[in-house]
Structure 1
Amino acid sequence: MAVLKVIEILANSKESWEDATRNAVKEASKSVKNIRSVYVNEQSCVVDGANITHFRVNVKITFEVS
């Protein structure tokens, strides 16, 4: 039987929500091993005038505990 744990990560990107999600997984994988899935819980943007400057995601990352 596998034991799984879920952590919540906030990440951002100047490019897209997809890139922000990749950034979250990349940073989490530096200290968390056996990542199994990522769930995008929330998306938001930072706006300056009429321009979007940053894309933000709140993700839940699931990993197997050894």
Structure 2
Amino acid sequence: MSEASVYRVVELIGSSSDSWEDAARNAVREASRTYQDLRVAEVVMMDVLIEDGDIIAFRTKLNLSYKSAAD
């Protein structure tokens, strides 16, 4: 029988004062401190926080998959 790969998915929200790309990068960077063997990040949603008519933060929601040892 061939070995099967198992992947887990976590939902993350990254933020940045500069861009959605930096927000995604921040989320992946932080996730890499906890999860091993990161594989794919799917952008699910992007939004901004607004204060007094100005954008104060870009936020990117990701579904991030990582390879998991078979249970």
What's the secondary structure of 2:13's corresponding residue? strand
Structure 1 gap segments, 5+ residues each? none
Q: Count residues in correspondence.
A: 66
Percentage identity across paired residues of the two chains: 32
Please say which structure displays the higher CA radius of gyration: 2
TM-score (norm 1): 0.93
Structure 2 gap segments, 5+ residues each? none
Comparing 33-42 with 46-55, which one deviates more in the overlay? 46-55
Q: Report what 1:12 is aligned to.
A: 15
TM-score (norm 2): 0.87
Matched, 1:43 2:46: yes
Q: Report what 2:67 is aligned to.
A: 64
User: Considering only aligned residues, what root-mean-square deviation do their CA atoms show, in Å?
Assistant: 0.9
One-letter identity of the residue aligned with 1:31: T
CA shift, 1:61, in A, is 0.3
What's the secondary structure of 1:15's corresponding residue? coil
